[in-house]
Amino acid sequence: MSQKAFIRSVGRFLPERRLTNQDLETMVDTSDGWIVSRTGIRERRILGPGLGNSFMAVRAAQECLERAGVSAAEIDAIVVGTVTPDMFFPSTACLVQRALRADAAWGFDLSAGCSGFVFALTTAAQMIEAGRYQKVLVIGSDVMSSIIDYEDRNTCVLFGDGAGAVLLEACPEPGYGILDFIQRIDGAGGEFLHMKAGGSLRPASLETVQRKEHYVFQEGRQVFKFAVTEMAEVSARILEKNGLTGADLKLFIPHQANLRIIDASAKRMGIDPQKVVINIDRYANTTAGTIPLCLYDALVQDKRLAKGDYLVMSAFGAGFTWGSVLIRWWE
């Protein structure tokens, strides 16, 4: 049996500035009651001006390495899940590598929307399983405030900024670590959730800026409908595939997009709501950052994981992309 990757350490970065629902009431036609009832969000963090994605990613990675007692020189590779890089190129991974002085590492960015972290995690896990690498940093980091129109009440209430990082290594004991995953994409969903301009098809121009085509566009009802069905299904499927039930899980860590989607997924899995990790009320949807931020809360702040515990992570994002990961904790 091939070696499995396990999560040795976690780190995070959250901007200091808080944008509350009450703040948004002064900016667009919305209300705290409306936002909370439909999303579960009460506030979100916003990165300060003049700072980019790599600023957050580097700090999350630094804490992660410090907690593990590992130097940046020991890192073999860096995989960053993001849709808001500092720039098209060089990659965020390159910027992180330089800032950390991880001279032996190579790496790349992975774009999968809100599924960015789980896609990056499973990609990195397979690098460990192949036996070619010993230590891989996986970072989920997004500055969603940089691509949100704060005059669009349908999207500006949903997103925030934040970053989380994990260090993967080969698990020294069989039967633990990242045991399995299911990943899916469906490009037909692109019309419902995208950023139209800024790429090679529609390069930046006066026209694209005036039409606000460099901001997130979301057709909320279509995205919600698909997300509820598919994220719930893939979350249940990973358990069934491995002969487990919701009763076997210690924790369920879902992408933090909408509280109703989270509830639907937990119900489909047949798990106690107390097992669901939720921080959407404090951080909103940080895209690739949500799951590692939840893991940080569960592991570091609340100490809810012990050796042998099963947990499932699942996400749904633009593309459409979605997936689930089954982990048996080793510590």
Active site residues: 114, 255, 285
Residue 88: other Cβ atoms inside 10 A: 10
Question: Whole-angstrom Cα distance, residue 27 to residue 12?
Answer: 29
Residue 252: Cβ-neighbour burial (10 angstroms; 0-12, 13-18, 19+)? buried
**Whole-angstrom distance, CA of residue 122 vs CA of residue 313:** 11
CB 307 within 8 A of CB 331: yes
- In whole angstroms, give the CA distance from residue 133 to residue 236: 31
Residue 303: count other Cβ atoms within 10 Å of its Cβ.
Answer: 8
CB atoms within 10 A of CB 190: 12
> What residues have CB less than 8 Å from 42, skipping those under 6 apart?
20, 21, 32, 35, 36, 281, 282
Residues in the chain: 331
Phi first, then psi: what are they for 125, rounded to 5°?
-60, -40
What tokens were used for 319? 């593309």
Asked if residue 43 lies in contact with residue 213, where contact means CB atoms within 8 angstroms, the answer is no
Q: Are 259 and 18 in contact (CB under 8 A)?
A: no
Q: CA 223, CA 198: separation in Å to the nearest integer?
A: 22
Long-range contacts of 86-95 (CB under 8 A, 24+ apart): 86/52, 86/53, 86/54, 87/52, 92/53, 92/54, 92/57, 92/139, 92/141, 95/54, 95/57, 95/58
Neighbours of 50 (CB within 10 A): 6
Question: Which residues are 141's β-sheet partners?
Answer: 163
